[in-house]
Amino acid sequence: MNRILLVGGNKEAFALADSLSSKGYKITIINKDKTVCDKFAEKEGIEVIYGDGTTFRSLESADTGGCAISIALTDDDAENLVISELCKKKYGVKKTVALLSDPKKTNFFKKMGVDCAVCAINAITAVIEQNAIIDKMSNFMPIGNGMVSIVQTEIEENSPVIDKKLWEINFPAEVVIGCILRGEVTIIPRGDTRIIKGDTLIIIAASSKVKAAENVLTGNGND
């Protein structure tokens, strides 16, 4: 299963769709802005649904149940929560990501079942963190004005997480392992999925947590 659903957003949605498409993911877009939909329709291989992502009609049209990850990118916190809730509880999407503008809502979003709820951070801090780890983590791409990043990183032979199950790894809050690439196989992980040498992890994280995630995977910062 390698389909990802993007709901809402504008420039960040375009950048994310382009990046994920280039890596072989199938992208479905739901957007209630007709202009945005028309622009997406010009892109080859992207399914476009013109509609409201908070409605059953749009989510059914997008075959949401066939998606591995949903990412709610609207500028309305309540809408992003509704989208994530429907994707998770109604359609069984494994991993849900929701952007939010009010950091006080982060814990509430998590209690409601959203896997990754991320809010805006200081842009300068984000840039510093991204540049500091660019040699360690490849294909780093910030979205949502730097609020959330999708990162691809390979597990090297000295990684302390080798042979551990995901539930045994102490990842920081706001970090989700979206999928694992193992040779020619794409794995949608569960808590009992075991990490092995050579795995490539696709990580969805708040940009402020990317450095901490890298530390967990490499063992840096634990001395």
Residue 82: inside a domain, yes or no? yes
Residues 98 and 76 in one domain: yes
Tell how strand 3-7 and strand 69-72 pair up: parallel
pLDDT of res. 121: 37
pLDDT of res. 1: 53
Residues 135 and 39 in one domain: no
- Global model pTM greater than 0.75: no
User: 69, 95, 119 — which closes off a domain?
Assistant: 119
Residue 223: inside a domain, yes or no? no
Count CB atoms within 10 A of the CB of residue 176: 22
Percent of the chain with pLDDT over 90: 32
Q: Which parts of the chain have pLDDT scores under 70?
A: 1, 119-147, 221-223
Residues 62 and 144 in one domain: no
pLDDT of res. 49: 96
Residue 179: inside a domain, yes or no? yes
Residue 38: inside a domain, yes or no? yes
Domain count within the chain: 2
pLDDT of res. 100: 79
pLDDT of res. 136: 43
Domain range spanning residue 145? Answer: 123-218
Give which of 193, 163, 192 is closest to 181, Cα–Cα. 193
Residue 29: inside a domain, yes or no? yes
Q: Radius of gyration over alpha carbons of the chain, in Å?
A: 17
Residues 159 and 90 in one domain: no
What are the DSSP E strand ranges found in the chain? 3-7, 26-31, 46-50, 69-72, 95-100, 116-119, 138-143, 148-154, 175-182, 185-187, 200-206
Residues 90 and 150 in one domain: no
Residue 196: inside a domain, yes or no? yes
We report the CATH number of the domain holding residue 143 as 3.30.70.1450
Residues 11 and 99 in one domain: yes
